[in-house]
Amino acid sequence: MDRLPDRFVWAWERAEDLRDLDAGIGVAFLAQTITIAGSEFHTTPRRQPLRVSPATALVAVTRIEVEPAASTTPWPSVDALSATIAATTALPRVSAVQIDFDAAASERAYYRQLIGRLRDRLPPAVPISITALASWCAGDDWLAGLPIDEAVPMLFRMGPAHEPFRRIALARDAAARPCRGAVGASLDEPIDAHIDGRRLYVFNPRPWTSATLFRVRKWSTE
């Protein structure tokens, strides 16, 4: 991960023109959404255009969603699912993969197997990043031992019950070890954050503009 920029913007499922992005800012873009439905899964590739300059570092994000009925039936083969995620590295100029998912306690063993199989499939030089609920990074050690290069604590959309987890934004040592290298924030939820050498990922619920990109630059240097 040290070869990647220390700032990223998330480009979700909408048209984005980021050709004027600073060289020091990368783009983590939604490449596909995988929907698990029982023992089957369906893949929906990105539908909206994404325009970036040739110099922009790219991370391909796979979002995993689970239909309610899937929780009571066998899940898909981790071989097939990991192969689908690994295939995003064939997209132009992708340097790393990121998986965005939620995991109930009963689902964690499956995700551990999935990530382990994905690590086996990818070349050693291709990093694996995951997004992480704030609770996974404070007092919950299920990420320990996962073959990942980075876990990004999502410090937004947490709700009042999760306010105590905001201390992770102030000190990297407050987070579990896998979560100490990055932090995820959103432009529409101001938060006191000390970047402290961590990689910053920023979500924007609206299309990116020169003004909002300036806020990302300012935030990461405060």
Q: What is the pLDDT of residues 154-166, one digit of tens each?
A: 988 766 545 667 7
Residue 207: which pLDDT band, with cuts at 50, 70 and 90?
Answer: very high
Tokens 């240097």, residue?
Answer: 221
Distance CA 174, CA 164 (A): 11
pLDDT of residue 1: 86
Spell out the residues 6+ positions from residue 216 whose beta carbon is closer than 8 angstroms to its own. Answer: 7, 9, 25, 187, 200, 202
Mean pLDDT (the chain, rounded): 90
- CA distance linking residue 167 with residue 163, whole number of Å: 8
Mean pLDDT of 27-43: 96
Whether 176 and 192 have beta carbons less than 8 Å apart is answered as no
Cβ count near 133 (within 10 Å)? 18
List, in order, residues 6 or more apart from 57 with CB less than 8 Å away: 4, 5, 26, 27, 93, 95
Taking only the tens place, the pLDDT of each residue in 17-31 is 999 898 889 999 999
Contact 114, 77 (CB under 8 A): no
pTM for this prediction: 0.94
Each residue's pLDDT tens digit, 90-138? 999 999 999 999 998 999 999 999 999 999 999 999 999 999 998 899 8
Domains in the chain, please, with CATH?
A: 7-221 (3.20.20.80)
What DSSP element (H or E) covers 211?
helix 210-221
What pLDDT does 159 receive?
61
Quote the pLDDT of residue 205: 93
**How many residues are there in the chain?**
222
What CA–CA distance (Å, rounded) separates 60 from 156?
21
Phi first, then psi: give them for residue 125, nearest 5 degrees. Answer: -80, -5
Residues in CB range of 131: below 8 A, 6 or more apart: 98, 99, 100, 101, 151, 152, 154, 184
